Amino acid sequence: MAGSVVGITALVTSIVLIGGPLGVIGLALGVLALRTAKRTGVGRAGAITGVVASCVAIVLSALMAVFFVWYADNTQECYQPDSFRQYTECVHHQLTEG
């Protein structure tokens, strides 16, 4: 049960990169729950939910981290704008022309 709760929480928060570490914790808890379910025969569905949600959260967090690094690298010239409009124009220029 704890593995699925942490895994689903990790999945929901993976966009803001918090899901990566939570996903690792959820994966560990899910694997432990799978071992317990194998022994007792109870809780297999929740354990599988935790493992799958945690794995997806880890992958999404990694992809978001790569995207944030790529975005920062391609728009670093735009970080000292005078206005938000200037910033958006700079970002648009950097991403389409760059």
Q: Is the pLDDT assigned to residue 81 strictly greater than 80?
A: no
pLDDT at 98: 59
- The mean per-residue pLDDT over the stretch 26-37 comes to 93
Share of the chain above pLDDT 90, in %: 43
d(CA 98, CA 91): 10
Residue type at 46 in one-letter notation = G
* pTM beyond cutoff 0.75: yes
- The mean per-residue pLDDT over the stretch 8-26 comes to 87
- Give the chain's mean pLDDT: 88
- Terminal-to-terminal C-alpha distance of the chain: 48
Taking only the tens place, the pLDDT of each residue in 39-63 is 998 889 999 999 999 999 999 999 9
The rounded radius of gyration (Å) of the Cα atoms in the chain is 19
Highest mean pLDDT among 16-20, 31-35, 86-90: 31-35
Q: Is the pLDDT assigned to residue 18 strictly greater than 80?
A: yes
Residue type at 94 in one-letter notation = Q
Residue type at 10 in one-letter notation = A
